[in-house]
Structure 1
Amino acid sequence: MKIISTNIGERKEIDYKGTLVTTGIFKYAVEHPVFLDVEEVKGDAICDRENHGGVLQSVYGYSFKHYTYWKELYPKVNFEMGIFGENLTIDDVDETKIHQGDTFKVGDTILEATVQREPCYKLGVRFNNMSIVKKFWKTTFCGVYFKVLQTGFVKAGDEFIQIKSCSENPTIADLFIAKRIENGISD
């Protein structure tokens, strides 16, 4: 796994069904290294601290390989890096093979895979199409949240070097499927 893009976003107010909502989902690639801190990516807006950021969700990584699947379903969308709200666009993340607790050395940092991303309506706002939320739930292409065990900078081109494997733990995809079932989302 290798970072192909680092992405940050600013606070943005949007009109969602007549209500003004503040979001940080509009992330875009930056050319400079980003600093991964204990509870957030420095310079990246987190507008909903109840559901984003914090120790267990300080960094969100998403697979560039998944973009191909979504481009076929949404051919009119401009697929810029960060469109899924990810801080790190990674060349190939397989949620069915990454286990909770797996740990990686990346750039100056050490990251631990913690939990899955659960889509909300703001992903639909970003795509200008609410159908993506339900379609996202029906895949295992959820991306991975990471806990930052060692803070530091990462940049495009940095590789994920696995330093700890926790194969006895559930995969990120297992966690996502369990959450889908818990939420009563059917196929």
Structure 2
Amino acid sequence: MKLLTVNTGRAEAVDYTDSPSGTTGIHKLPADGPVRVAAPGPKGTGASGLAGDAVCDTRHHGGNDQAVYAFAREDLDSWERELGRTLVNGAFGENLTTLGLDVNGALIGERWRVGADLVLEVTSSRIPCRTFADALGEKGWVRRFTRRAAPGAYLRVIEPGEIRAGDTIEIVHRPAHDVTVSVEFRASTTERDLLPRTLAAGEALHPEVLEAARKYVFVQSSAGKPGGRA
């Protein structure tokens, strides 16, 4: 398992983003040298965990629980075959393009050591948005990407460090539950009845997903009580 490329992007003015600034950092390219990765701060104030990487819409992106986005080269290759076009590393806005690592099968709370020092923890999946769809220029992209349920993973920084293309990736911790990135994605999008299952991941789960799961369970339990909602 290894890191093919570390990808960063600069803020770019476009006419298809919902970002208040009218800019996006989704167009990412492989970095030439090492990149420092550290926790960027809370969502809304912090941005990307990677030095030199722009996160322009901090309402929905960036922050400690979405500090790094990883996507497998194998999944890019699969989309290449389906779309009939070349997809370079970073084409989906991912910071880490991996090889030999089952990103979508990773467990929430799973920890990866990348290179000598960096330790990351899986928190959630990536939910496709308008900016992603328009940047790629594929008709019906959000629906197609969602149907595949192979969204790549967001990660938080446990131990900061420098990484570069070619670094090894080692899974150093796997939690004792079965909530994968793909399961969490389905729960957050098309199969809401899976939300209670995601609670097994506990506090490792992205706080917004954890809140949604708890709310879902509360509503469902209240509906079953006498006098509750039918």
TM-score (norm: length of structure 2): 0.73
Per chain length, whose mean CA-contact separation is higher, i.e. which structure has more relative contact order (CA < 8 Å, sep 6+)?
1
| Equivalent residue number for residue 132 of structure 2 | 123
Contact 2:104–2:150, Cα closer than 8 Å, also in 1 = no
Does the residue aligned with 1:153 lie in a helix, a strand or coil?
strand
| Equivalent residue number for residue 96 of structure 2 | 88
Contact 1:95–1:140, Cα closer than 8 Å, also in 2 = no
Higher strand share: 1
Does the residue aligned with 2:55 lie in a helix, a strand or coil?
coil
Higher helix share: 2
Contact 1:101–1:169, Cα closer than 8 Å, also in 2 = no
| Equivalent residue number for residue 84 of structure 2 | 75
In the alignment, which of 116, 119, 123 is matched to residue 110 of structure 1?
A: 119
1:16 Cα shift? 2.3
Ranges of 4+ aligned residues in structure 1 off by more than 6 Å: none
Does the residue aligned with 2:142 lie in a helix, a strand or coil?
helix
| Equivalent residue number for residue 35 of structure 1 | 36
**Whole-Å separation in 1 of the counterparts to 2:36 and 2:70:** 14
Q: Structure 1 residues 118 and 35, CA, compared in 2 at 3 Å: closer, same or farther? A: same
Q: For structure 1, list consecutive stretches of 5 or more residues without a partner in the other structure.
A: none
1:129 Cα shift? 2.1
Contact 2:107–2:179, Cα closer than 8 Å, also in 1 = yes
String of CA shifts for 1:20-60, please: whole Å, max 9, x gaps. 83111000111211111102211000001121111111000
Larger radius of gyration: 2
Contact 1:93–1:143, Cα closer than 8 Å, also in 2 = no
Contact 2:125–2:154, Cα closer than 8 Å, also in 1 = yes
**Whole-Å separation in 2 of the counterparts to 1:34 and 1:24:** 16
String of CA shifts for 1:132-181, please: whole Å, max 9, x gaps. 22111011220011110011111111112111111315111110011112
Contact 1:25–1:123, Cα closer than 8 Å, also in 2 = yes
1:86 Cα shift? 0.3
Does the residue aligned with 2:75 lie in a helix, a strand or coil?
helix
> Is 2:6 aligned against 1:6?
yes
**Whole-Å separation in 2 of the counterparts to 1:71 and 1:96:** 18
> Is 2:102 aligned against 1:101?
no
- 1:14 maps to a residue whose letter is V
**Whole-Å separation in 1 of the counterparts to 2:139 and 2:55:** 21
**Whole-Å separation in 1 of the counterparts to 2:104 and 2:120:** 18
| Equivalent residue number for residue 177 of structure 1 | 186
1:92 Cα shift? 3.2
Q: Percent identity?
A: 31
**Whole-Å separation in 1 of the counterparts to 2:185 and 2:89:** 23
Count of residue pairs the alignment pairs up: 182
Backbone CA RMSD of aligned residues: 2.1
Does the residue aligned with 1:70 lie in a helix, a strand or coil?
helix
**Whole-Å separation in 1 of the counterparts to 2:95 and 2:82:** 23
> Is 2:62 aligned against 1:53?
yes
**Whole-Å separation in 2 of the counterparts to 1:62 and 1:130:** 21
**Whole-Å separation in 2 of the counterparts to 1:35 and 1:128:** 31
**Whole-Å separation in 2 of the counterparts to 1:93 and 1:161:** 9
Q: For structure 2, list consecutive stretches of 5 or more residues without a partner in the other structure.
A: 41-48, 193-230
